[in-house]
Amino acid sequence: MLHYSCDLCKRPIDVGSEMRHVVKIEVFQAVEEGRCEEGDCCEEGDIDEIDHLDEVHAMLERIEESQPDDECDAFDDNATRVFRFDLCEGCRTMFLKNPLGGRHGKKLDFSNN
């Protein structure tokens, strides 16, 4: 039998008597329209721009060489990250009220009070 625990309050979740909720968060780099990364559609650009790109590329290579291999993953900001959490009923409710974990104690002005 699988045992789950809430990733927020660390409380074991007894799936026999309560609901287990799964939160999946995917973070990836948005690709804006009209912008290209590969250069395939930028061939009409002037030569100066191409030289500049070469310089940037060479600079990036120097930076990569200066970093230990085991740290490269941590700096790969373009990689898609997927987070998956198990939540108990109570933490699910809390999460839905404040999904991005903004400041607690600061009330959102939804009411017209």
Residue numbers at the binding site for Zn ion (CB under 5 A) = 6, 8-9, 88, 91
Which is nearest to 15 in space by CA: 88, 64, 80, 73?
Answer: 88
Which C-beta is closer to Zn ion: that of 8 or that of 23? 8
Q: How far is the CB of 94 from Zn ion (least distance, A)?
A: 8
Which C-beta is closer to Zn ion: that of 9 or that of 15? 9
Which C-beta is closer to Zn ion: that of 39 or that of 90? 90
Give whole-number Cα distances, 17 to 9, 14, 34, 59, 101, in Å: 18, 6, 52, 58, 28
Which is nearest to 81 in space by CA: 25, 23, 8, 37?
Answer: 25
Q: How far is the CB of 19 from Zn ion (least distance, A)?
A: 11
Q: How far is the CB of 100 from Zn ion (least distance, A)?
A: 18
54, amino acid identity: D
